[in-house]
Amino acid sequence: MTVASEPSFLPAAEPSFARAHTSIRSWLLSTDHKRIGVLYFFATTLSLALGGVFALLLRIEHLTPGPTVMSAMTYNRLFTLHGVTMVWLFMIPSIPATFGNFLLPIQIGASEVAFPRLNLLSFWIYVLGAAFVLLAMWLGALDTGWTFYTPYSVHSPSAVVPTLIGIFIVGWSTILTGVNFIVTVHTMRARGLGWMRLPLFTWAIYGTSIIQVLATPVLGLSLLIVSLDHAFAWGLFDPARGGDPVLYQHLFWFYSHPAVYIMILPAMGVVSEVISTFSHKNPYSYKAIVYSTLGIAFVGFLTWGHHMFVAGMSVFDAGAFGALSMLVAIFSAVKVFTWVSTLSKGSIVLATPLWYVFGFLILFMFGGMTGVAVATMSLDVHWHDTYFVVAHFHFVMVGGTLTAWLAALHYWFPKVTGRLYSERWGLLGFALVFSGFFGTFVPQFLLGNAGMPRRYYEYPERFQLLHVASTLGSWVLAAGLLLTVGYLGHALWFGRRASGNPWASRCFEWRTSSPPPEKNFSAQPELGLDAYDYTTPWPASEERA
Amino acid sequence: MNSVRHAAQFQSLAQQDHATRLGMWVFLGSELLLFAGLFALYAAGRVAHPAAFHEGVAHAEKSIGSLNTAVLLTSSTTVALAVESLRRERRAAAVTLLSITIALGAAFFCLKLAEYGAHFRAGIYPGGAGSFFVSHGTPGLPLFWTLYFVTTGLHAVHVCVGLGVLGLSAQAIARGKMGGERAYVLENAALYWHLVDLIWIFLWPLYYLA
Amino acid sequence: MLRWFRMLFRLPPGASSFADGVDTLHLFLIGSTLLGVLLLSLLTTYFVLRYRERSGVRTTPVVLASGTGELLLVVGTLSLFVLWWVIGYRQYLSMRRRPAGAITVYVVAKQWMWKFSHENGALENNVLTIPVGRPVELLMTSRDVIHSFFLPAMRVKQDVLPGRFTTLWFKPTAPGRYSLFCAEYCGISHSAMLGEVRVLGAEEYQRFLADSSGAHSLAEIGREAALKHACFSCHTVDGQRHIGPSWSRLYGSVVTLSNGEQVSADAAYLTESMMDPAARVVAGYAPVMPTYFGSLDSSEAAAIVAYIRSLEQGPSSPSVRLPEVVVPPLVASSEPKGDLHP
Amino acid sequence: MSSNERALQQSSISRVLRAGAGLLALAAASYALSFVRLGAFALAVALAIAALKALVVLWVFMQFGRVPASAKLAALAAFFMLALMLSLMAADVASREAAPVPPAAAATRSP
């Protein structure tokens, strides 16, 4: 075990990637994976804001059982737009395209992704797809729900086709990014960096890319067929002409269940990194996390039927899907056990990223276990299409991916911007986000138990108290997110300068300057010391924030 | 012919070759899954309406379909030969073989349009519209024909994309931009063409023979 | 115990035979979840407090996973999940396996209302009246998009699909009025597609049956529907062969099909022959019968089957006389046909 | 890179020609067989021949044998997902128990 030689903490001689060229064109047409990551960051954060506004409007509408601020038509369109914007424009591209793009090449010691031009093309395809979705919104949006179940999605008079074309295009951007990342990890690793020495975030992005490449085309096909049915009434799923709406649900969920793993796997990668860094300890079992990542990536494809227990599927298939769903849940459980065990015998520093990761652990445990509960067939009969399911997937998506996205934002903020944010504001932001989240979605679990169906514009009076509580919670959550935008924006210009390794981490991205130069490493990256080897002391020059 | 420099981010030409080949195969995997949904719909449809699918196959244009199969299989052979000749630096042979492949691909596309024309004349339109379905009332028959039109239509689109890619490769070889070292660009184009052929190999029995 | 649990977790009081089993599994599952989350949170808090960073010490020993510890946790958790699946699947099967001798009600879901037709011909909109203590089976289909029949108090739900029959059964255990929701998004008034299930005591139910059954048995309504759909232009009722097989003594008899198979002409075969005539054609008859799918809804089909069954003993004897009073037109028939797109 | 890059380069032309001829022969056989009344086996035979043709294209034209292992894995994973989706969807339709219409309790004639 060689003691690490002097790492390059000193500000690099050459300018950082952000300073190298400053013209607008150099940003918009850059093939530098770091700049494309930053472009994705702004695009996906805008989508998050847009989706968040829709969510707040929905919650305000539910303050009273009857009409409150909008008509039924507007409400139905808003909950669909909230779903479409959040799923395809934020959740799926957020961590892989933003932090994956920025960090994957650095974490494997490469200077660039395998196909830089394809990477830039993927970003602009994403923007084109998002433009189509915005055009559809302008044309009056659609009211089919983000699942587009036929036959309603085929007969709905709303702007279904432009939205589906938009998502089809965004899908292609996801596939191309997936191909890019898979080839990068396979062929561009630095010399001597074997598969079993890769950082866990890289493994998470690699697993996500596998799902993106294999699942997204099926979504493309099902949306293409619904568009043809809607535009030309070809009725491929029309029961009068031999079709079967349940087959559409099979095709849709074949994509959409792996899609929820596209959303959660990168979040798990972030959590593995943050826990190891802030407890300054090797992961309790590196292999367990890697194999459960790959396990989720593949077994995630076998379980889509648990969305259709009451949809008219045969009992045999329902039983098979129920059992397979239990199998995939065990991989997430293994990860949670491994994360918690990593903390023991560590040297734990409590900083905002770690607070967000603790928030993630609590919410993901609730979310994951209610997932297992909903996959238990007889319970799903009562809970399906009620607010219980809404609460479950918000616990794993907002409690899981959004919290991990915030953790990643704070953890790699110094690396991307070269600045440090203030921990006090960070903690306050976390407190607001966490309590706001709890206030919003725990009442929705109870609403689901009480039998409140989802996608209801009006609801019986007996549910009003819980709805009001949920709406108040959503305001606190919104306040927390706005506060985060505030102090991170402030830190961008006025934050203290950050060194190459403010968190005293051993991971590879912390062995170059912050922000890194255009070619990621000023000198040949020395990756001799393992990414999670905290046994050797790092030279004194490493300061702590 | 100047020695071809590899792109900046790669350390060697072999690594670039390996990367593009792997990228192509992963992309072919996703293309295969684009058609997987249609094969799954065919399987589910056939299980639900066996009679309609038998009747549908009985009314298929078997002769044009089989001719198309022969055309596509031959074009697969010629594009493989083109790759081999480029590897042996026999550019003229490569360009001619590619032109034959493109001609065969175009022939396939024209035959496909002719076949659609025959169906339209017979009153078979997607969505179960058309006079054919008035006289043939088997439930599930419109599903067979709509699936036929969507699947072969999507396949025809991929044939066009393949023709475009092969055309660009032929132009690049003709202008000397692509030599023995960088043969993998043509190999990837050929891989795409072989995938298009592979999908047709399975479409043919499903919609024409059995 | 369950009462406390339902009150705390806002579950509606259980009103069907499934409720207690489902809620017990729910309690067991959510209870172990809360326990697990509590344990892991305590463990995390302990680690954070115990291993806080002592000033400047930033190196830690390598701790490698003990294979057995990891394995135990995995096997333990997995066996818990599989146990839940086994219990859940058994309860799910009991929900999907229909009991014999249940009261049958035909349900037609239509954009934004529910239509129920009882076996005695009574028709109800948005309100379903059933007796307590006896299993009831709903045979449901939709006239347009996918709806979902959801009774929170009975812990049952089943999507209602167009072009197909789906079934749902439950045995109400407590009289009362229970809210019915549509749980699958079906358009602008999805949230207004509410209904109610009234569970009556045995004698009130009999009173309801008596005064709501009207003057006609289902068989008579069936004969009426057969007249309307011109079935008699091909089928006779006195045993003579015609374009189609005669209905006399048909119900329950074994018929040989054109492909040589033998099948008993029960309700399922008769309904299928109405909806998909070419599927199983009786030997010696041309497959010229048009499909009635879309033009004949479930209550009419059931009524025709009842009429055919009433001819089981022989030709249509005069005992099936139509009363002089003018037969009110079937509610179903007055509906505008074909709101399904062509 | 690895030695198998060089091996990818040269594959004998006669092998490609023989494969091409074999494909056409298989297609002709499948075409001929389609006129024979095989009943239930017709689809199975046609698909078996198609699978054989697919293997020839994969092995000879696309040189599947000498492609990097990761590419092989990608192709096999894609095929596995296709088979998985197809089988579970067909199984659903096949194993769906038809909802029987329970015997209408005719008021007059119930035994």
Decide if A112 touches B, using CB distance below 8 A: yes
More confident residue, A218 or C67: A218
Give the pLDDT band of residue D7 (cuts 50, 70, 90).
Answer: very low
Q: Is A244 on the interface with D (CB under 8 A)?
A: yes
- How many Å lie between the alpha carbon of B78 and the closest alpha carbon of chain A? 29
A169 touches chain B (CB under 8 A): no
Neighbours of C53 (CB within 10 A): 18
Average pLDDT of chain A is: 90
Residue type at position A113: V
CA A411 to chain centre: 16
| Model pTM above 0.80 | yes
Which of B131, B152, B128, B156 has the alpha carbon at shortest distance from B208? Answer: B152
d(CA C173, CA C186): 30
Task: Return the pLDDT at C320.
Answer: 38
Residue pair A279/A343 in contact (Cβ under 8 Å)? The answer is: yes
Looking at C212, C233, C253, which one is the last position of a domain? C212
Instruction: Determine what percent of chain D is predicted with pLDDT higher than 70.
Output: 78
**CATH class of this structure's domain A32-484:** mainly alpha
SS3 sequence of chain C: CHHHHHHHCCCCCCCECCHHHHHHHHHHHHHHHHHHHHHHHHHHHHHHHHCECCCCCCCCCCCCCCHHHHHHHHHHHHHHHHHHHHHHHHHHHHHHCCCCCCEEEEEEEECCEEEEEECCCCEEECEEEEECCCCEEEEEEECCCCEEEEEHHHCEEEEECECCCEEEEECECCCEEEEEEECCCCCCCHHHCCEEEEEECHHHHHHHHHHHCCCCCHHHHHHHHHHHCCHHHCCCCCCCCCCCCCCCCCCCCEEEECCCCEEECCHHHHHHHHHCCCCCCECCCCCCCCCCCCCCCHHHHHHHHHHHHHCCCCCCCCCCCCCCCCCCCCHHHHCCCCCCCC
Are residues C264 and C281 both part of a single domain? yes
Both tokens of A197, joined, read: 């020495």
- The residue in chain C having the minimum alpha-carbon distance to the alpha carbon of residue B138 is C278
Half-sphere exposure of A144 (CA within 13 A, CB side): 26
For residues C109 and C204, membership in a common domain is answered with yes
Q: Is D86 within 8 Å of chain A by CB?
A: no
Asked if the Cβ–Cβ distance from B140 to A187 is below 8 Å, we say no
Q: What is the pLDDT of residue D10?
A: 60
Residues β-bridged to residue C142 = C109, C162
CA distances from A42 to A45, A53, A289, C277 (A): 5, 17, 30, 60
Local structure of A530: helix, strand or coil: coil
Assembly ipTM = 0.87
Predicted pLDDT of residue B180? 67
CA distance D2 to chain A (A): 12
Does residue C75 fall inside a structural domain?
yes
Say if B23 is an interface residue toward chain D (CB within 8 Å): no
Is D78 an 8 Å CB contact of chain A? yes
By the 8 A CB rule, do C264 and C253 touch? yes
Cβ of residue A182 closer than 8 Å to a chain D Cβ: yes
Q: What is the CATH number of the domain that holds C282?
A: 1.10.760.10
Chains that touch B (3 or more CB pairs under 8 A): A, C, D
Dihedral angle over CA of C17, C23, C29, C31, nearest 10: -150
Q: Which residue of A has its CA nearest to B50?
A: A242
Q: Enumerate the residues of chain D whose CB falls inside 8 A of the CB of residue B39.
A: 82, 86
Phi, psi torsion values for A368, nearest 5 degrees: -65, -45
Read off the pLDDT of each residue in A259-281 and give the average, rounded to a whole number. 94
End position of a domain, from candidates C212, C227, C250: C212
Chain B closest-CA separation from residue A216 CA (Å): 8
Instruction: State what percent of residues in chain A have pLDDT above 90.
Output: 76
Q: Which residue of D has its CA nearest to C251?
A: D103
> What pLDDT is attached to residue C334?
36
pLDDT band at C329, cuts 50/70/90?
very low
* D101 contacts C139? CB cut-off 8 A: yes
Q: Do C283 and C268 share a structural domain? A: yes
Q: Does C122 touch chain D (CB under 8 A)?
A: no
- In the prediction, which pLDDT does C57 show? 66
Spatial contact of C169 and C138, defined as CB atoms under 8 Å apart: yes
My answer on whether C205 and C281 are in the same domain is no
| pLDDT band, very low/low/confident/very high, at A543 (cuts 50, 70, 90) | very low
- Band of pLDDT at residue C332, cut at 50, 70 and 90: very low
- Residue of chain A whose alpha carbon sits nearest to that of C42: A340
Nearest CA in chain C to D103: C267
Residue B124 has pLDDT above 80, yes or no: yes
Q: Tell whether C276 is within 8 A of chain D (Cβ).
A: no
CB-based contact (8 Å) between B130 and chain C?
Answer: no
**Does any CB of chain A come closer than 8 Å to the CB of residue D70?**
yes
Q: What is the pLDDT of residue D109?
A: 24
What range defines the domain where residue C78 resides? 2-43+69-96
Can you tell me the mean pLDDT for A314-323? 93
Contacts of A319 in chain C (CB under 8 A): 89, 92-93
Instruction: Spell out the domain ranges in chain D.
Output: 1-62, 68-95
Say how many CA atoms lie within 13 Å of A310 toward its Cβ: 30
The CATH number for C204's domain is 2.60.40.420
- Which of D79, D85, D86, D88 is the best residue to mutate to test the A interface, defined by the most A CB atoms within 10 Å of its own CB? D88
Residues of B in Cβ contact (< 8 Å) with A225:
37, 150
Taking the C-alpha atoms of residue D65 and residue C291, their distance in angstroms, rounded to an integer, is 54
Assess if residue C63 is contained within a domain: no
Disruptive mutation site among B133, B135, B138 for chain C (greatest number of C CBs within 10 Å) = B138
How many structural domains are present in chain C?
3
| C179, C197, C212 - which closes a domain | C212
Backbone angles phi, psi at C50, to 5 degrees: -65, -40
- In degrees rounded to 5, what are phi and psi of residue B38? -70, -40
- Report CB contact under 8 Å: D91, A210: no
The shortest C-alpha distance from D59 to chain B (Å) reads 11
pLDDT above 90 (res A487): yes
Which chains form contacts with chain D, at 3 or more CB pairs under 8 Å?
A, B, C
- Residues in a beta bridge with C262: C256
Q: In chain C, what residues touch B138 (CB-CB under 8 Å)?
A: 278
**CB of D84 within 8 Å of any CB in chain B?**
no
The one-letter amino acid at B64: I
The per-residue pLDDT for range A291-310, each reduced to its tens digit, is 999 999 999 999 999 999 99
- In chain C, what is the straight-line distance between the N-terminal and C-terminal CA atoms, in Å? 55
Amino acid making up residue A461:
E
D89 at A interface, C-beta within 8 A:
yes
Cβ-contact A82, A51 below 8 angstroms: yes
Q: What share of chain D is helix, strand, coil (3-state, %, to 5)?
A: 70, 0, 30
Among A186, A247, A312, select the one facing D70 at the smallest CB separation. Answer: A186
Q: Which residue of B has its CA nearest to D72?
A: B25
Chain A contact set for D90 (CB, 8 A): none
Taking only the tens place, the pLDDT of each residue in C69-80 is 888 888 999 999
What are C13's two structure tokens? 């009081």
Q: Tell me the residue ranges of DSSP E strands in A399-534.
A: 419-420, 496-497
For D95, which of A312, A314, A321 is closest by C-beta distance?
A: A314
Burial of B109 (0-12, 13-18, 19+ CB in 10 A): middle
- Six-digit token string for A214: 């294999």
**Residue-range domains of chain B with CATH:** 29-209 (1.20.120.80)
**Per-residue DSSP letter, A305:** G
Residues A21 and A31 sit within 8 Å (Cβ to Cβ) = no
